[in-house]
Chain A
Amino acid sequence: MKRLLAHTGLAAGALVMLYPLLWMISASLRPNTEIFEHPGLIPERPTLGNYALGWSSTGTSFGIYLMNSLIICAAVVIGNVLTCSLTAYAFARLRFVGRKTLFGLMLATIMLPGHVTLIAQYSIFRNLNWIDTFWPMIVPSFLATDAFFVFLMVQFIRSIPVELDDAARIDGCGAWGIYRRIILPLLSPALVTTAIFSFIWTWNNFFSQLIYLSTRTRLTVPVALRGFLDATGSSEWGALFAMSVVTLVPVVVVFVIFQRRILAGMAHTGLK
C-alpha cells in the first residue's frame, strides 16, 4: 500500500514536471487557432504543417542552422577529447617541474566565471578577425580550456594501474607510446562522457553564439530560434514550437542512447 502511494506520488510528480514538454510537442502538431484553446494534450486536428512552415519561414532553411550547430559541436567534441586527454595524461602520470602549481591553476579555472575573460577575449578575437566565424567557439576547445573535462580524465587515469605503464616502458614505449597504446584505449569511458557532455553543452550554449555570430546563414540553432519570431514578423506559435522541438531532438536522442553514461557521469562529478 505504501509502495503504491509512493509510486503514485512519483508518477504524478513526473507528469507535472514533463507536462510542459509534452504540451509543447502537442502544440507543435496543432493549427495555430487551436493551440491556446484548451490545455489538453490531444490535438483535435493534428497537422505537420507547422514543421513545414517553421523550417523555411526565417528566410533561411532551418537545415542550415542545424548544420552550423552540428559543425561547431563536432569540432568541440574532437578538440576536447584530444587536448583534454593530452593534458590529463601529463598531470596524472608524468613528473615535471611546477606540476603542483599548474595542477592547482587548472582546478581553479574550473570555478572561474567566464565573464571575467569575456570582454578581453572578445577584443582579442575581434583583432584576429574572428567575429562572425565559428573560430571563437571552436579554438578554445583545442586548447583544453574546459578544465572540468581535464579533471574528469585525471581522476580516471589515476584509477588505471601504473604497472601497465611500467610494462609498456620495458617494452620500449616512451611517454607518447604509453599515452597512445595504454592510456587512451583504457580511458575510452571518460572520453565518451566528455564527448557527450561537450556535445550537449555546446548545442545548448547560447551566450557565445549570440555575441559572436550575426550573419543569418552562419547562425546556430539557439540563436536562430531566439530570433524566430522577429524574423518571421508574426506570431506563428505553432511553427515556433515545431522548431523548438526540432532543436531539442538531438539532445534527447543523445540522452536516450547514452542515458546510463550521462547519469553515471553526473554522479561521478559529485563524488571524489
Chain B
Amino acid sequence: MIARLRQSVPAYLFLLPWLIGLLGLTIGPMLLSLYYSFTDYALLNTPEWTGLHNYTTLFQDSRYLQSLKVTFIYVGVSVPLEMAFALAVAVLLNRGLKGLAVYRALYYVPSLLGGSVAIALLWQQIFGSDGLLNDVLGVFGIHGRGWISEPGTALWTLIVLRVWQFGAPMVIFLAGLRQIPDEVLEAAEVDGAGRWQRFWRVTLPLLSPVVFFNLVLQIIGAFQAFTPAFVISGGKGGPSDSTLFYTLYLYQQAFGNFRMGYAAAMAWVLLLIIAVFTGLNFVLGRTWVFYGDEGARR
C-alpha cells in the first residue's frame, strides 16, 4: 500500500491544480450552496438557519412557478424543433452535394454568434414593433405587431433564436452520418427499401446514439439559457413575466434582491430537475438508442 501511494505521488502533482479547483471551486461551493439554501443569507449578514423554509416558499411563489412554466415551454418547444432542423439539414447535406463544406460553415455561423449579447440586441430590433420582421411583412402587405412587447409572442422570439442555432447539433449529426457505411444503405436498397424506409429503418437507428447525445446536451443547455432573455427583456423577464427564465429569476433573487439563500435553493432544485431529465433520457434511451456492437453480440 505504501509503495502504491508512493507511486501515486507524481500523478497527484500533475493533478494538483485540478484537485484544488475541484475542492475549492466545485465541491466546496456546492456544499456551501446547499448550506445557504437552508438559511436566510443576504451576503452581508451571517447566514441564519431557517430549515426548509426557502424550499417551501419556492412552491408558493407565483413568479417562481411562472419561471418554471416559461422554462419548460422553452425547453420543450425549442429543443425538439432545433433537433429536427439539425437532422433534416444534415441529411440533405449528406447526399454528396458539392459545396458541403461551405453550407456547413454558413449554417454553423449562427451557433457561433447566437449566444452573444450583440445577437440578443439584434433580436430585440428584428422583432420590435418597428423592426426588421415587420418591415419585411410590410412588403407583403401584412401588418405586424410588437413581437417582443406582447406577452403572447415574446417567448416565441427566444425560441426562434434558439432554433436559429441548429448548426451546432447539425455538425455533430453530419459527422455521425458519415460513419454509416454506404454498403448498409446499398444493401437496404437492393432489398427494395425506398428512400423513406431507408431513412427510418437504417439511417435513423444507426444514428440514434448521436441523436441521444445531442438531445441530452441540448436539454441541459436549454434549461440554463440566460443571456437572450436577460438582454431582450432588459433584465426583467417581461412583458408580464412571459420571458422569466429560471436562471433569470435566480439572478434577480441573488443579485437584485440579495436573497442568496433563496437563490441557492433555486439552484439546487435546478440541478435536481436537470438530473431527473438527464436520468429520464438515459432510461428512455434504452428503448430507442441502438448501439451496433450490442446487436452483434446477440
| B92 contacts A10, C-beta separation under 8 Å | yes
| B89 contacts A13, C-beta separation under 8 Å | yes
Q: B113-142 interface mask toward A, CB cutoff 8 Å, 1 = contact, 0 = none?
A: 101111111110110001110011011000
CB distance from B192 to the nearest CB of A (A): 21
Question: Is A63 at the interface (CB under 8 A from chain B)?
Answer: no
- Can you name 13 A-B residue pairings with CB atoms under 8 Å? A10-B92, A13-B89, A14-B106, A21-B110, A36-B135, A111-B278, A113-B274, A121-B25, A206-B115, A206-B230, A206-B231, A247-B117, A271-B179
**Separation of A266 and B217 alpha carbons in the complex (Å):** 13
| B106 contacts A270, C-beta separation under 8 Å | no
Most buried by B among A86, A150, A204, A251: A204
Question: Is B287 at the interface (CB under 8 A from chain A)?
Answer: no
Closest 6 CB pairs of A and B: A143-B21, A267-B175, A270-B172, A120-B29, A96-B8, A120-B32
Give the residues in chain B near A118, CB-CB below 8 Å: 29, 33, 254, 267
Question: Is B240 at the interface (CB under 8 A from chain A)?
Answer: no
Q: B246-281 interface mask toward A, CB cutoff 8 Å, 1 = contact, 0 = none?
A: 010011001100001001101110110010001000
Binds A, one of B9-17, B57-65, B145-153, B289-297: B9-17
Question: Is A1 at the interface (CB under 8 A from chain B)?
Answer: no
| B118 contacts A18, C-beta separation under 8 Å | no
Give the residues in chain A near B254, CB-CB below 8 Å: 118-119, 122
Dominant secondary structure of chain B at its interface with chain A: helix
Interface residues of B, CB < 8 Å — how many? 92
Residue on A with the closest CB to B89?
Answer: A13
| B113 contacts A21, C-beta separation under 8 Å | yes
Q: A205-236 interface mask toward B, CB cutoff 8 Å, 1 = contact, 0 = none?
A: 01100110000000000110110100000000
Known: A115-B267, A263-B171. A145 touches B274 (CB 8 A): no
| A266 contacts B32, C-beta separation under 8 Å | no
Give which listed residue, A86, A105, A120, A263, contacts B22 with CB less than 8 A: A105
| B17 contacts A200, C-beta separation under 8 Å | no
Give the residues in chain A near B107, CB-CB below 8 Å: 13-14, 17
| A120 contacts B116, C-beta separation under 8 Å | no
| A117 contacts B18, C-beta separation under 8 Å | no
| B250 contacts A96, C-beta separation under 8 Å | no
Question: Is A116 at the interface (CB under 8 A from chain B)?
Answer: yes
